[in-house]
Amino acid sequence: MKHQEKIVKLSRRQYERVRAQLSLEYRIVSEDKSTRAWNSTVTKNISAVGLCLESFHPLGLNSNLEISLRVPFFQDPIMLKGRVVRAAEIKLGEIYGVAVAITDIKPEDRNKLQIELEQIDITCLLQQAVEQGATDLHLSLGHPPLMRKTDKLQAMEYDPLGKNAIKRMLFSLLTESEIEYFNKNFELNTAITLVTISGTYRFRVNVFFQQGIIEAVFHAIMIPVPKLKDLHLPKIMNALIREKSGLIILTGHGGSGKTTTCAAMIEEINSQQQKVITMLQQPIEYMFEPKQSIIRQRQITKDVHSYSKGLEEAAYQNSDIIVLDKIPDVQTLELVLATAQSGCLVILTIPSSSIIAALNQLIYVFPLDRQYYARKIISESLKAIIFQKLLNKKAQPETRIAGLEIFINNPESANVIKEGFFDKIPGLIQTGTVLGMRSMEQSMIQLFEQGLIDSSMVENADK
């Protein structure tokens, strides 16, 4: 039934050409039905109704061709027939550009080809973006695909996108249930893995409407999961992941690498400790292979109804470590704090502009008459807050490295939190280096001394 529904949709769709190099063999079929030898070449662009190829000998207009088309990951080639509708000499006497209209192809092969071409189109864009060092790819009406490289948007060599092209490419990646969810809720957060001949790529995807038009942003996720040492993170991070209980908060602006740091911490635990780790995420970004630990990655609304339900169930699943990427309500936060006090290590990632802002964000979830209680319980359960931002690498300006400000909880810090004297936290960080604390400036100085960032970064540490 699902396949039949897809065919109906395709019958109404305007076929669009995709720039893709697919291997093929062709031979000329004469009027007397005799055939010539097979010739090998590749497509320059292709749709389900026609293709362009390069030939090393001239082909006359209206020549009939028999074509064996190789499509990635298809077990057998697609056999079709076509007619030459345009031919031009590209390189004198050597290379000819040929446009072919497909005249005979099995309906199921045409449908299968169209579906695959939609994925090839967006897959090529995403692959090129990653290979060119982009962290994000924007699909926006009236613009060519735009890559974010460091802090700048850069247009790809592609025609401006129409609304049908954006919808076609996006829906080719989504499942039927995801499309249904998007049509109902007008937004979708998900993650996808693309397997190509040249490698495997993973992306977080946000699909949304603006002025009634579908647009999307893709964020590249590192494969394989990075290690702590690869990210040049301080040694205190290794000590924190050996805590038996308590709350560790990773915070920073959106796109500051919080999820990557968290993934590196989990991978370090996975490699060195025998733990049961439950991850509650929406969506699941990094994918882990089990090593020393059991890792259960549960996606909200797909594997479990809510964060609070996932926390409740984790208590019955013998979890040693619980990871969350969001605190949606006070019920969830109360469960997080109770879990952190009951012998389980909780790692939480939340967006904020500073360590103090992260604390306020948690406390203000509670009503005013319960905020002293909130400060008290946080002061008792907190192990550390790590604020991070991304800095341009000295030798590789198009790549980033994380600068970390680290606040470690101790009796003095706990009292400051409980009483709400948050303005004292910067001073505690400055004087707490022996405990592993560090300011952003101190972090940048160390990165500069290691030759990883430029001196201008240190001069602008507070900006």
**Domain chopping of the chain, boundaries:** 16-105, 113-221, 229-459
Percent of the chain with pLDDT over 90: 73
Q: Is the pLDDT of residue 302 over 60?
A: yes
Span 200-222, pLDDT tens digits: 899 999 999 999 999 999 999 99
Q: State the average pLDDT over residues 283-311.
A: 96
- 76 closest CA partner among 102, 47, 49, 108: 108
Q: DSSP for 331-353, please give it.
A: HHHHHHHHHHHTT-EEEEEEE-S
pLDDT at 71: 86
Q: Is the pLDDT of residue 48 over 80?
A: yes
- The CA distance from 176 to 168, in Å, is 14
Q: Given pLDDT bands bounded at 50, 70 and 90, which one contains residue 463?
A: low
CATH second-level architecture of 113-221?
Answer: 2-Layer Sandwich (3.30)
Span 164-191, pLDDT tens digits: 889 988 988 888 899 999 999 999 999 9
Topology classification of domain 229-459: Rossmann fold (3.40.50)
pLDDT at 158: 84
- The CA distance from 312 to 86, in Å, is 66
Residue type, 168: R
Q: Is the pLDDT of residue 401 over 90?
A: yes
pLDDT at 2: 35
Span 18-30, pLDDT tens digits: 878 889 999 999 8
- The DSSP 8-state label assigned to residue 18 in this structure reads B
- The CA distance from 51 to 41, in Å, is 12
**Cβ neighbours of residue 450 under 8 Å, at least 6 residues apart?**
232
Q: Please name the helix (run of DSSP H) or strand (run of DSSP E) that holds residue 211, with its range, or none.
A: none
Span 367-396, pLDDT tens digits: 999 999 999 999 999 999 999 999 988 877
Span 79-126, pLDDT tens digits: 999 999 999 988 888 899 999 999 999 999 998 888 888 778 888 889
- The CA distance from 99 to 102, in Å, is 10
Q: DSSP for 136-197, please give it.
A: EEEE-TTS--EEEETTEEEE-SSPPPPHHHHHHHHHHHS-HHHHHHHHHHSEEEEEEEEEET
Pick the CATH number of 16-105 from 1.20.120.140, 2.40.10.220, 3.30.300.130, 2.40.430.10: 2.40.10.220
Q: Given pLDDT bands bounded at 50, 70 and 90, which one contains residue 461?
A: low
